Copies of this chain bind each other. A is one copy, B any other.
Amino acid sequence: MAKQKTIGVGMIGCGFMGKSHGNAYVTAARFFDLPARPVLKGVCGLPLKAAQDMADQWGFEYATDDYKALLKDDEIELISILTPNNLHAKVAIDAAKAGKHIICEKPLAMNAAEAKKMVAAVKKANIVNMAGFCYRRCPAVSLAKELIDDGKLGRIFHVRAAYLQDWIVDPEFPLLWRMAKKVTGSGAHGDLNAHIIDMARFLVGEFEEVCGDMNTFVKERPLPAEGIGLSGKGGKKKGKVDVDDALSFLARLTARGGAKGDVMGLFEATRFATGNKNQNMIEVNGSKGSLRFRFERMNELDFYDATKPQREQGWTNILVTEPVHPYVGSWWPPGHLLGYEHSFVHEVVDTIQAICSRKKEVKPDFEDGMRCNEVLDASLASAKSRKWVKVKKL
């Protein structure tokens, strides 16, 4: 066969997201007809041993504990940034300066100001940049977007979204990095609300004003002997949890084409909703119809079409596994489900196509990431001040 164009890939960070991205790069070219095949070059992680294990497991050519080594590697064109949140900005700005295309995990930055610098850097460098809001690329969510763009919902009244988990309900669960402000910025908020804020922006429109409330139900947790890290078992010493366990907020949004601030929004992120494992849910109600999605049934989209004869109206449970559905045609026959990791494959597919195309654009980009950070900042501030806060557009 004619030799296919390749695209060198570097990965910075090698935790849970390392697996998601590693798998995506390996799998994308197997199922999709790509203009360039990703080649796994280098992976950076700490300690070096972790990076080396990842390299061995996923077939990277080399491992390093110095991310700049990747930036200097001319064969690397595309970088995945998967570090803890507090390193996103520094690494991304450096990567942009080095001319690398970037997929950066969410939330894009510790705050909107930091995100703004990242946006400036990628714009200046004129590189393809994606903010890793993977749920946009679940086929059911992509289909929701199509239906909304086709006007199936009419004027939008409500968006209610929740991202419910329960993995730290046990007060003996140790204090890990995701509960340490310095590293993560916030708790459930930045981790989970980031996703549903992006989902609402994707499906509905821009946030205008927010008013939040937050709580830390377990105020102290056992510290791992080795300190606060990615994982580890709690010891006898306890440390203070300085982030939220849950943060919910009211919002006003402006739907695309709608009156300013007319849409009412409700958002909730928590790690204390026992029985909800990864319950990322959204419902949007409009004058002509409604849509409902929840990740724990990620292959399904519920669509209520209020324009049908009333006798036949109901929530249509669309099994989003048909060739006509977004991304699905490249996978399996109808009724053969996709899983969590497929959304990352779709990110990689679209990013590589952007890199190889003339437009070099892909969404959600860093600007979307910044918009999300603006809403995160405002809702966190409102939860602290216990006042409505306008979302400031940077």
| Chain A contact residues, CB within 8 Å of chain B | 1, 4, 16, 19-20, 22-23, 26-27, 29-31, 52-53, 56-58, 143, 146-147, 155, 157-158, 160, 162, 165-167, 169, 211-213, 215, 217, 246, 248-250, 252, 262, 264, 266, 268, 270, 272-279, 283, 285-290, 295-299, 301, 303-306, 310-319, 321-322, 324-325, 332-342, 386-388
A and B contact pairs by CB, cutoff 8 A, 24 listed: A19-B332, A22-B30, A23-B30, A30-B58, A158-B272, A158-B273, A160-B268, A211-B213, A213-B250, A213-B264, A215-B264, A248-B266, A274-B288, A274-B290, A275-B285, A278-B335, A278-B336, A296-B335, A298-B337, A301-B314, A315-B317, A332-B340, A386-B388, A387-B387
Complex contact B275–A246 (CB within 8 A): no
Give the contacting residue for A296; candidates B53, B290, B304, B319; CB below 8 A.
B319
Complex contact A274–B340 (CB within 8 A): no
| Given A30-B23, A52-B1, A270-B158, A275:B290 Cβ within 8 A | yes
In the complex, what's the smallest C-beta–C-beta distance from A247 to chain B, in angstroms?
A: 9
Give the contacting residue for A274; candidates B29, B272, B275, B287; CB below 8 A.
B287
Residues of the B chain whose Cβ atoms lie less than 8 Å from the Cβ of A165: 335
Give the contacting residue for A157; candidates B262, B270, B278; CB below 8 A.
B270
Complex contact A16–B318 (CB within 8 A): no
A316 vs B26: C-alpha distance in the bound complex, in angstroms? Answer: 37
Complex contact A324–B310 (CB within 8 A): yes
Residues of the B chain whose Cβ atoms lie less than 8 Å from the Cβ of A166: 285, 306
| Given A1-B56, A157-B217, A274-B285, A314:B319 Cβ within 8 A | yes
> How many copies are assembled?
4
Residues of the B chain whose Cβ atoms lie less than 8 Å from the Cβ of A58: 30
Complex contact B23–A306 (CB within 8 A): no
